[in-house]
Each structure stands twice: as C-alpha cells, then as structure tokens.
C-alpha cells in the first residue's frame, strides 16, 4: 500500500488536516506531521537556530513545537519516521492559495519541500470566505491523489489545488489553470501594545489584478476546482540571452 505524509500550515488541530486525513486514510498508510501552531505565511522557511521537538497530540497527529511546514516535511522525509512516504499532501488550507499567494504560502511550501526531496506532492486549499466545506476539498484531494499515483508528475513539479467552498455536488468540474496575479498589498495597520509602544500588522492580500480566463481565480469563481502545476525551477529562461547581452555592455 502507498504511504502518505500529510502536513499543513494551519497547525495540527486544524479541521482541514483532519478532513484530509479521513479522506486519505482508506488509500494507504499515513503519517501526519504538522506545525504546533498556525504558521500561515511561513513560506519555505527552515528552523536553523534551535533544535525541534516532536510531540503527539490527543488526535494522534504528530506536531513540531515551534516548527514550520517545511521543517515538518523535511524532517519527516529525511529520517524522523522509520519509513519514507510515497507522496506528500499538504492541506487542507483554510482559505485560497492562488496567484501571488503561493510565494508566501506554508501550505504550498510543504508540498514544495516534498518534491524537492524527490516525492510527488500536492497542496490543497479551500477557497472561500467562511471555509465550511472541508469535506468537499477532502473528496477532491482523494480523487487527485489516486490520479497522481497513477501518472508520474514531471520532475520539479507540484500540483497546487484550490477547491471552491461549495457542497461537492455543486462543484462544476476541474480546470487546469495558470496563476493569476494580485495588486500589491501595501496596507499597514498601526496599533499600540499595552505600554503604548507602536506595533504594526501586515494588511490583507491585494485585490485581484490578473483574474481572467485561464487563471486560478477565474476557475474557482465559476465553481471549478483549479489545478495549477507549479515548477520548482524559478529560472527565467527567456531572459538568459538578454541578460548576457546586457552584461556585455556593462
């Protein structure tokens, strides 16, 4: 039977992780290693300034005290468990990870780390304001896991999946999409701590900028599951020659 590693960035007590585990468990063996607390926005950060301690919660899920999503997948794959998983599934995130969100997302980062370590990987997010239909995203995840195990993903490629927050029978289908884009987020929310010293909150994500046909934003808005293949190789190949010519003139 295949062996799955589940992780997330919302923490080991998150309802999305529980729903994902329930859906994936019938497909094979699984281990769960997630952050102790919500680490949304942690991106691909690794903890290098202190050791990490693994504990097991009352729900049976393992968690890392103070760890990030990338910490969890890295340690799980490289030796914290006796057996290496066959696939990494990250999620189900509470909220979308579309467009520029993927640069900051700990959910996507956990899947990225799995692929970096040589395993097929997928990130799953529930795209909505209230996020009540985790069971829908879990059913979608299980279906796609079967597909990924049946078809080899290209090297350095993960699947970023965003599921509309709808009952399963209202999902209109699946669409392969590209990332949209957001306007920059420049809102800073000033406040004060109990001593009166200034503190600052980073504001919400920017509004949609490129959300037309073919984007993840558009698919989800129309009730479709968005599936975007993401490449770990961030080289801008079509600029290599132009950059070389520019350097010759320096």
Q: Binding site membership for a divalent metal cation: which residues?
A: 9-10, 40, 93
22 in helix, strand or coil? helix
Burial 22-46 (b: 16+ CB within 10 A, else e): ebbeeeeebbbbbbbbebbebbbee
Burial 163-187 (b: 16+ CB within 10 A, else e): bbbbeeeebeebbebebbbbeeeee
Q: What residue has token string 């607390």?
A: 37
Residue 106 to residue 101: CA distance in whole angstroms: 10
- Give yes or no for a contact between 117 and 73, defined as CB atoms under 8 angstroms apart: yes
**Distant-in-sequence, close-in-space partners of 199: CB < 8 Å, separation ≥ 6:** 190, 191, 192, 193
Residue 215 DSSP label: B
Q: Which residues are annotated as a binding site?
A: 9-10, 40, 93
């Amino acid at each position: 039977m295949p062996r799955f590693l589940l992780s997330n960035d919302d923490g080991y007590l998150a309802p999305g992780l529980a729903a994902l585990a329930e859906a994936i468990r019938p497909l094979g063996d699984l281990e769960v290693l997630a952050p102790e607390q919500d680490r949304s926005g942690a991106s691909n950060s690794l903890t290098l300034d202190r050791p990490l301690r693994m504990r097991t919660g009352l729900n049976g899920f393992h968690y890392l005290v103070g760890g990030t999503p990338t910490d969890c997948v890295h340690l799980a794959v490289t030796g914290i468990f006796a057996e290496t998983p066959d696939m990494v599934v990250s999620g189900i995130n509470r909220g979308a990870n579309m467009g520029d969100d993927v640069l900051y997302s700990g959910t996507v980062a956990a899947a990225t780390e799995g692929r970096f370590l040589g395993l097929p990987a997928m990130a799953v997010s529930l795209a909505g304001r209230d996020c009540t239909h985790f069971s829908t995203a879990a059913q979608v995840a299980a279906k796609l896991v079967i597909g990924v195990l049946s078809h080899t993903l290209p090297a350095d490629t993960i699947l970023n999946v965003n599921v509309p927050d709808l009952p399963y029978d209202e999902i209109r289908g699946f669409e392969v999409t590209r990332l949209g884009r957001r306007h920059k987020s420049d809102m800073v929310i000033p406040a004060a701590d109990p001593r009166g010293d200034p503190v600052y909150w980073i504001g919400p994500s920017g509004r949609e900028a490129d959300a037309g046909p073919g984007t993840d934003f558009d698919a989800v808005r129309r009730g479709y599951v968005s599936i975007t293949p993401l490449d770990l190789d961030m080289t801008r190949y079509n600029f290599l020659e132009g950059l070389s010519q520019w350097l010759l003139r320096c």
